[in-house]
C-alpha cells in the first residue's frame, strides 16, 4: 500500500544534494518525534455512545514548539497525519517561523454530527490531548472541516483543565476569544501573495490569466476573491459535490454567498440582493484539474494529481493551496513537462504565519490591526518566495526542491547549533 509519509520524505533526498546537510540530520527528519492516539467517547444526542479515533503527531521541535492544524475527516489516518506534520516542519522552516511541525485529526464525518455533538467531540479530543500539547510545546490550529468556533471550544476546554486562561494554546480562534485580525483569510491571502510574486517576476498581466480552483472552502474562497479583485479571471471551481466551469469568468463574491446559504457551489451573479443564475458547464473534480488554464490551485485534499492524471494536466502553473495535492511521481512528471509548481510549503504558509502572529499577540496581550497583519504577512511571503526562486534558478531545479533546500538549510543549522557528529568527532570548529 502506498504511504503518503514515505512519499513526502522522498523530497529530502531530492533536495539534499543542493543543501548544506549531513546524513544524520536528514535521518532525524525522516522520523516523527511522537504520536498520540486516542479514543474519544462521544455521547450522541440520542443517548448512545460512540468512540472516535483521534491522532496528534509531532514531527520535529528543534526550531521551536510544534505547530499544525486539526482535521476532521472520515479518511484521516495516522500515515496522513505524519505526512502533514512533516510538511508543517518544512513550512515553518521555509518561512522562518520559530516552530517545528505537528498535525492532528479525528476520523469522523463532521457533517453527520449535530452542533452539540461536534462541541462535545472537540472538547473530548482536547481533554485527551491536554498533556501532550501546550502553548510552549505544541499549538494546534484549524484544518479541513474545523474552524474558528471549534478552536474556541478547544481553547476553553484547555483553559478549564489547566485552570488558567490560555489563548496561546491554539490559533485560528474567533476574534473575541483571542483570535487575530486577518487569520480567517490568511492562507488564501498567502496563496494570492505568492501568485502575485510570480506574476511580477514573469511580468505577466493578471487580466490575461485564467485560474481554476479545486475546493471552495476557507483557502480557495479567499484566494479566489483576492485574485479576482486584481483582475485574474476565475473560470472554474468545485467542492466535494462537483464543479462549475465558465470561460468568461465567475463572480466569486456571489458564489461565496450561494455556498454559505446552500452549501453548494452555483454559477450565479448577484447585484445587491438580486441574484441570477449564469450559464456555466457542470464539470467533475477530475475534469477541473485537467482544464487548459494558466493557473491551477488545488485547494481541497492531498494526492489529487498522481502519475495517472499528471500527463493530462494542462495548467502552466500550479499553486498548491492544499497540502500535498501532487504525489511525488506526479511532481517529477510535471517538472519534466515544464509545469511550474509553487509548492505547498511556501504557497499555503500564510495560515501558519498569521497563526504565529496570533500566538505572539496572545503572549503579549496586545492586538494588531488587520492592515498590520496583512503587511507583515506579505513581507514574509515575498521575502521567502524570493529566496526559494533564487535557489531554483541557481540549481535549475523545481521550485519544490528549492523550497526543501531552503528549509533543510534552516533546520540543519539548528541541529548543528546543538551539536552533530561533525562537532563531536571534531570535524567542525
Ligand atoms: P475547508 O474545510 O474550509 O474546505 C475544504 C474544501 O474541499 C471544501 O470546499 C470541500 O467541499 C472540498 N472537498 C472536500 N473533499 C473534496 C473532494 N473529494 N474533491 C473536491 N473537493 C473536496 O478546508 P481548508 O481549510 O480550505 O483546507 C483546504 C486545504 O488547504 C487542505 O489541504 C488543508 O490542509 C490546506 N490548508 C489549510 C490551511 C488553513 O489555514 N485552513 C492552511 C494551510 C493548508
Beta-carbon contacts of residue 209 (< 8 Å; ≥ 6 apart)? 199, 232, 233, 294, 295
Which residue has the least CA distance to atom 14 on ligand 1?
240
Ligand 1 atom with least separation from CA of 91: 43
Question: According to the model, what pLDDT value does residue 427 have?
Answer: 66
Question: According to the model, what pLDDT value does residue 195 have?
Answer: 98
Ligand 1 atom with least separation from CA of 172: 40
Ligand 1 atom with least separation from CA of 323: 32
Q: How far apart are CA 273 and CA 200, in angstroms?
A: 36
Question: According to the model, what pLDDT value does residue 414 have?
Answer: 96
pTM for this prediction: 0.95
How far, in Å, is the centroid of ligand 1 from the Cα of 325? 11
Which residue has the least CA distance to atom 19 on ligand 1?
240
Question: According to the model, what pLDDT value does residue 429 have?
Answer: 57
Q: How far apart are CA 98 and CA 87, in angstroms?
A: 15
Ligand 1 atom with least separation from CA of 146: 2
What's the CA angle centered on 204, arms 198 and 375, to 5 degrees?
Answer: 45
User: Which run of H or of E encompasses 396?
Assistant: none
DSSP conformational letter for 320: -
- Active-site residue list: 103
Ligand 1 atom with least separation from CA of 325: 32
Q: How far apart are CA 404 and CA 401, in angstroms?
A: 5
Which residue has the least CA distance to atom 32 on ligand 1?
322
Q: What are phi and psi of 309, to 5 degrees?
A: -100, -10
Q: What are phi and psi of 318, to 5 degrees?
A: -125, 130
Dihedral of alpha carbons 152, 183, 387, 319, sign: positive
- Name the one residue in this structure whose C-alpha cell is 493557473: 295
Q: Which residues pair with 72 in a beta bridge?
A: 106
DSSP assignment of 53-94: EEEEEEEE-TTSSEEEEEEEETT--HHHHHHHHHHHHHHHHH
Asked if 190 and 299 count as a contact pair (C-beta separation under 8 A), the reply is no
Q: Which residues pair with 199 in a beta bridge?
A: none
DSSP assignment of 191-214: HHHHHHHHHHHHT--GGG-EEEEE
Quote the cell numbers at residue 57.
503527531
Best of 173, 187, 326, 346 for a ligand 1 pocket test (most atoms within 8 Å of beta carbon): 187
Beta-carbon contacts of residue 37 (< 8 Å; ≥ 6 apart)? 53, 54, 55, 78
DSSP assignment of 133-170: -BTTTEEEEE-TT--HHHHHHHHHHHHHHHTS--GGG-
Question: According to the model, what pLDDT value does residue 382 have?
Answer: 98
Which residue has the least CA distance to atom 31 on ligand 1?
322
Q: Which of 182, 191, 186, 183 lies closest to 211, judged by CA?
A: 191
How far, in Å, is the centroid of ligand 1 from the Cα of 218? 7
How far, in Å, is the centroid of ligand 1 from the Cα of 274? 29
Which residue has the least CA distance to atom 36 on ligand 1?
322
How far, in Å, is the centroid of ligand 1 from the Cα of 143? 7
Ligand 1 atom with least separation from CA of 349: 43
Distance, first Cα to last Cα, the chain = 45
Which residue has the least CA distance to atom 30 on ligand 1?
322
How far, in Å, is the centroid of ligand 1 from the Cα of 352? 15
How far, in Å, is the centroid of ligand 1 from the Cα of 220? 8
Q: Which of 127, 130, 68 lies closest to 100, judged by CA?
A: 68
Quote the cell numbers at residue 48.
448512545
Q: How far apart are CA 367 and CA 180, in angstroms?
A: 7
Averages of pLDDT over each 10 residues, the chain, 429 residues: 88 93 94 98 98 98 98 97 97 98 98 98 98 98 95 98 98 97 96 98 98 96 98 96 95 92 85 82 96 98 95 98 96 97 98 98 98 98 98 97 98 92 76
Q: Where are the domains of the chain?
A: 32-177, 186-347, 399-429
> Which residue spans within 177-335 are E strands per DSSP?
210-214, 233-239, 242-245, 268-271, 274-277, 281-283, 295-298, 317-319
CATH code that applies to domain 32-177: 3.40.50.10860
Which residue has the least CA distance to atom 37 on ligand 1?
143
Which residue has the least CA distance to atom 3 on ligand 1?
217
Q: How far apart are CA 351 and CA 236, in angstroms?
A: 23
The yes/no answer on whether domain 186-347 falls in CATH 2.160.10.10 is no
Q: Which of 352, 333, 349 lies closest to 398, judged by CA?
A: 333
Q: How far apart are CA 332 and CA 67, in angstroms?
A: 29
Q: How far apart are CA 114 and CA 243, in angstroms?
A: 27
Q: Which residues pair with 210 in a beta bridge?
A: 233
Question: According to the model, what pLDDT value does residue 279 have?
Answer: 85
Best of 111, 186, 239, 263 for a ligand 1 pocket test (most atoms within 8 Å of beta carbon): 239
Residues in the ligand 1 pocket, defined by CB under 6 Å: 142-145, 187, 214-219, 238-240, 285, 299-301, 321-323, 348, 351
How far, in Å, is the centroid of ligand 1 from the Cα of 144? 5
Give yes or no on whether 32-177 and 186-347 have one common fold.
yes
Q: How far apart are CA 409 and CA 404, in angstroms?
A: 8
How far, in Å, is the centroid of ligand 1 from the Cα of 299? 6
Amino acid at each position: 500500500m502506498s504511504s503518503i509519509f514515505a512519499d513526502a520524505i522522498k523530497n529530502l533526498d531530492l533536495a539534499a544534494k543542493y543543501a548544506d546537510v549531513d546524513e544524520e540530520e536528514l535521518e532525524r527528519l525522516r522520523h516523527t518525534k511522537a504520536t498520540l492516539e486516542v479514543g474519544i467517547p462521544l455521547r450522541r444526542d440520542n443517548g448512545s455512545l460512540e468512540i472516535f479515533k483521534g491522532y496528534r503527531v509531532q514531527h520535529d521541535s528543534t526550531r521551536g514548539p510544534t505547530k499544525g492544524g486539526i482535521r476532521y475527516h472520515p479518511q484521516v489516518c495516522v500515515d496522513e497525519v505524519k505526512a502533514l506534520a512533516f510538511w508543517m516542519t518544512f513550512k515553518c522552516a521555509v518561512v522562518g517561523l520559530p516552530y517545528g511541525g505537528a498535525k492532528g485529526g479525528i476520523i469522523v464525518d463532521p457533517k453527520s454530527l449535530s452542533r452539540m455533538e461536534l462541541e462535545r467531540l472537540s472538547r473530548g479530543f482536547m481533554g485527551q490531548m491536554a498533556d501532550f500539547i501546550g502553548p510552549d510545546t505544541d499549538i494546534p490550529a484549524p484544518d479541513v472541516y474545523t474552524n474558528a468556533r471549534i478552536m474556541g471550544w478547544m481553547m476553553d476546554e484547555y483553559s478549564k483543565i489547566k485552570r488558567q486562561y490560555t489563548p496561546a494554546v491554539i490559533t485560528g480562534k474567533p476574534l473575541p476569544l483571542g483570535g487575530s485580525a486577518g487569520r480567517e483569510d490568511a492562507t488564501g491571502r498567502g496563496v494570492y501573495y505568492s501568485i502575485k510574486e510570480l506574476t511580477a517576476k514573469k511580468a505577466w498581466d493578471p487580466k490575461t490569466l485564467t485560474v481554476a480552483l479545486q475546493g471552495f472552502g476557507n483557502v480557495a474562497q479567499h484566494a479566489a476573491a483576492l485574485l479576482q479583485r486584481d483582475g485574474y479571471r476565475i473560470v472554474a471551481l468545485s467542492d466535494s459535490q462537483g464543479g462549475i466551469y465558465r470561460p468568461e469568468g465567475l463572480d466569486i463574491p456571489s458564489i461565496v454567498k450561494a455556498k454559505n446559504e446552500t452549501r453548494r457551489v452555483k454559477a450565479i451573479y448577484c447585484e445587491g440582493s438580486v441574484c441570477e443564475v449564469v450559464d456555466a458547464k457542470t464539470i467533475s473534480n477530475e475534469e477541473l484539474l485537467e482544464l487548459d488554464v494558466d493557473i491551477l490551485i488545488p485547494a481541497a485534499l492531498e494526492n489529487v494529481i498522481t502519475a495517472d492524471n499528471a500527463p493530462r494536466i494542462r495548467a502552466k502553473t500550479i499553486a498548491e493551496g492544499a497540502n500535498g495535492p501532487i504525489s511525488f511521481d506526479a511532481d517529477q512528471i510535471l517538472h519534466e513537462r515544464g509545469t511550474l509548481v509553487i509548492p505547498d510549503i511556501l504557497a499555503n504558509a500564510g495560515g501558519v504565519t498569521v497563526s504565529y502572529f496570533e500566538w505572539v499577540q496572545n503572549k503579549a496581550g496586545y492586538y494588531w490591526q488587520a492592515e498590520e497583519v496583512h503587511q507583515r504577512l506579505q513581507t514574509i511571503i515575498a521575502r521567502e518566495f524570493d529566496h526559494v526562486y533564487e535557489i531554483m534558478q541557481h540549481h535549475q531545479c523545481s521550485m519544490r526542491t528549492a523550497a526543501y533546500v531552503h528549509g533543510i538549510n534552516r533546520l540543519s543549522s539548528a541541529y548543528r547549533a546543538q551539536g552533530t557528529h561533525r562537532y563531536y568527532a571534531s570535524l567542525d570548529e
